Every structure is written in C-alpha cells, then in structure tokens.
Amino acid sequence: MAVLKFGVMEKEEQFELAEFAMKKLHPKWTLFIDDLVRKIKPVWLGEHSKDKTHFIHLIGFGKKEKAQVIVMNLLEFLGWHKNAKLLFASSERNFPDSHEIAETFIKGNAILPKVVFTDMLHTILMRRNDLGDCILAKGVAAFMRNPESLVLNEIGFSSVKPEGALVISYLDIFMGEKFIQKRFMLHHFLEKKEVAGNEFRST
C-alpha cells in the first residue's frame, strides 16, 4: 500500500513539474495551460474510467499551430509522446483527406492508443451534416455521444475499444464555415444545453 501511495506522489510531482515547465515555456498561454492540465490530470493519475474514451476539445480561433506546439510539448514532458497517435489533415496535393486517414486509423487499431491528438473531427462531423449517409461520420458522432466503443457498420471494420484512451481534438470551427454549421458543431459538445458565458470556456 505504501508503494502505491509513493507511486501516486511521484506522478503528482512529475505532473506539477510538467505544468511548471509548460508555463515557463509558454508564459502568455497560462490560462489555456491551466484548463488543459486540469482536464488531462485525472487521466494521468489513472483516476478516469477505463471503459470509455475521454475527449478534450480545443475550440480554436486561428491559433492552430500554437495549440499543436503546446499540446505536443505537454505530451513530451509527461512522456506520453511515445504512446500518442497524431492525426492531422493536410492541404497538400496527393495527401490523403481526413476521411481516408480516419478509415485507415480505425481499421488498424482494435484498441485506441493511449493518446490521440487530432484536428480532423471537425471535417468528419461536417460530413455528417452535409452527407447524411456517411458511415464514418455517423459512427464518429455516435462514438462521441457514447464513447464506450467506436463501431462502423460497414464491411472491413471491426469495433474499436477505448480502454481509457484520451482524445485531444482541435476544432477550428470559427474559420471558413457558415454560421449554421458552427452551431451544428457546438451542439455536439454542449449537448444542446444552455451555457452561461463564464462557463463556456470550461464546458
């Protein structure tokens, strides 16, 4: 029992050191880092449910590259970068689109990696709004509502088990989309509840 407590204390200390280092490295982003580490900490300490996936959504305002750097720095400080899978879209020619990248990832992972960091949920979920018959978009939307299993009802796909995985998604939903589409996206994360202005960031 004493060994277990000592292990928890060590993890607490390592987490605090990582948080301190992050704020030294990115002093203008302390509020963002505070929110990020608060939501990651239960997963780091193993206090979260292992039966479902845990989502952190970073709602962006054109600071995508900076957010990516901060998240990657934190994963490195925590030693999670080796067990993290990065899924980022690209505008380069001959580069697979978000749909193709996501399908390949799901087919290749019967169990989710410990951490998934992605900017593709926005694009995938928009396909659900634009193309009602998109199997991938339907499956991902259902998974976000019930994060205990990711299932695509299509030949060639098996269910993906979460096993307590952490998904950090960057959603640049205020850039280049129509207002009605932005509202559609927010409904996924606010679950159509009224949220006061001072509670919006945390939610």
At 92-108, the pLDDT tens digits run 777 778 888 888 888 88
In a domain, 141, yes or no: yes
User: Tell me: the pLDDT tens digits for 77-90?
Assistant: 999 988 899 998 77
Nearest Cα residue to 113 out of 83, 147, 140, 143: 83
Pairwise pLDDT comparison (20 vs 153), residue with the higher score: 20
In a domain, 101, yes or no: yes
Q: Which domain covers residue 148, as residue numbers? A: 50-200
In a domain, 84, yes or no: yes
In a domain, 168, yes or no: yes
* 54 phi and psi angles, rounded to 5 deg: -115, 130
Residue 5 is predicted with a pLDDT of 44
With a cut of 50, say whether residue 191 has pLDDT above it. yes
pTM here?
0.78
- pLDDT cut 70: percent of the chain above it: 76
In a domain, 4, yes or no: no
Q: Under a CB-based contact definition with an 8 Å cutoff, are residues 150 and 140 in contact?
A: yes
Residue 75 is predicted with a pLDDT of 94
Say which CATH number the domain at 93 has: 3.40.50
With a cut of 80, say whether residue 183 has pLDDT above it. no
In a domain, 1, yes or no: no
Residue identified by tokens 């694009």 is 123
Report how many domains make up the chain: 1
Q: Under a CB-based contact definition with an 8 Å cutoff, are residues 170 and 68 in contact?
A: yes
User: Tell me: the pLDDT tens digits for 14-63?
Assistant: 999 999 999 999 999 999 999 999 999 999 988 888 899 999 988 776 67
In a domain, 21, yes or no: no
User: Distance of CA 71 to CAs 74, 90, 98, 167, Å?
Assistant: 5, 18, 20, 12
In a domain, 152, yes or no: yes
86 is written with which tokens?
């990065």
Question: Pairing between strand 84-87 and 166-171?
Answer: unpaired
Q: Under a CB-based contact definition with an 8 Å cutoff, are residues 110 and 161 in contact?
A: yes
Measured in Å, how far apart are the chain's first and last C-alpha atoms? 36
Over range 67-73, report the average pLDDT.
93
Q: Measured between alpha carbons, how far is 51 from 13 in angstroms, rounded to an integer?
A: 27
With a cut of 80, say whether residue 179 has pLDDT above it. no
